[in-house]
Amino acid sequence: MKFAMKKSLVTAILLIVVIVVLSASILVIFNSNNASAKPTSTYYTYTIVNTYPHDTNSFTEGLVYSDGFLYESSGSGNLNGISTLRRVDLTTDNVLQEITLPTQYFGEGIAIVNNTIIQLTWQSNIGFIYNKTTFALLGNFTYPTQGWGLTYNGKNLIMSDGTDHLYFLNPTTFQQTGQIQVHDGKTPVKNINSLDYINGEVYANIWLTNTIAIINPETGQVKAWIDLSGLPDENNSNINAVLNGIAYDQQNNRLFVTGKDWPSLYQIKLIPQTSPTP
């Protein structure tokens, strides 16, 4: 009888131990899943360091700073209905060099690769290659998606098409070498537009918002958000005049932003926040 009671007691204790262990395991898994589902981003707001003039007829789709100049691709959403590629003086916005695209092409993102400028078009599935110095057309290439933003990481071109994906292209053959899905936690981030590659990360305008996502190009995870609400040109009466255009001066650590048809281009400094701006 005592043996039977001891056996029952041992069995009960073992059962309790098993239940405790299983409960703990389930809790760990639950917390782990929840943690991975939550956004892990940090947040920035900004302060304006300098304000420069910007052409209100420039429907900015791509922007790059290189060798002391801004290179800008303008879509045909501007008032004169044409797309351009131009080199401009930062402080005056004087156009130093410009070419006009054939009217069937809507100019989009640009990137500089060595002594060439690569320019996407929106829905024509074609990109153009220019000599950086003369703007002479050197060739073209095709791609299967829409063309939105473009940047260069020193090895590959990185391209957006308005979805939640970034595509990596060989800068010589223009063949796709890879792609990533952009996400914040487990939430896909769509409408990725103008791009710039800055210190190992991809900065991306999110179309129709006042935010820039800072993306890990290896994983697609959004590492941080920049809230640019409150910029003076944000309240432009033109509904198409949205934030778009990121450029970075590596040598002097200057970050520039502007928008489509905005009268100003801003040099900004990022200010860390502990949580999203209310």
> Of how many residues is the chain composed?
278
Residue 32 in this model has a pLDDT that exceeds 50: no
Summarize pLDDT for 47-84 with one digit per residue, the tens.
999 999 999 999 999 999 999 999 999 998 765 679 99
Q: Find tokens 């590959």 and name the residue.
A: 156
Residue 23 backbone phi and psi in degrees, to 5 = -65, -45
Going by pLDDT thresholds of 50, 70 and 90, the confidence category of residue 7 is very low
Q: Which CATH architecture has domain 42-273?
A: 7 Propeller (2.130)
More confidently predicted of 7 and 243 = 243
Q: Locate the domains of the chain by residue range.
A: 1-37, 42-273
- The pLDDT value recorded for residue 41 is 77
More confidently predicted of 218 and 27 = 218
Q: Given its phi and psi angles, is residue 68 left (phi above 0), alpha (psi -120 to 50 degrees) or beta?
A: left
Eight-state DSSP code of residue 252:
T
- The pLDDT value recorded for residue 78 is 63
- The pLDDT value recorded for residue 234 is 64
Summarize pLDDT for 111-170 with one digit per residue, the tens.
999 999 999 999 999 999 999 999 999 999 999 999 999 999 999 999 999 999 999 999
Going by pLDDT thresholds of 50, 70 and 90, the confidence category of residue 239 is confident
- The pLDDT value recorded for residue 79 is 57
- Collapsing DSSP states into helix, strand and coil, what is residue 158? strand
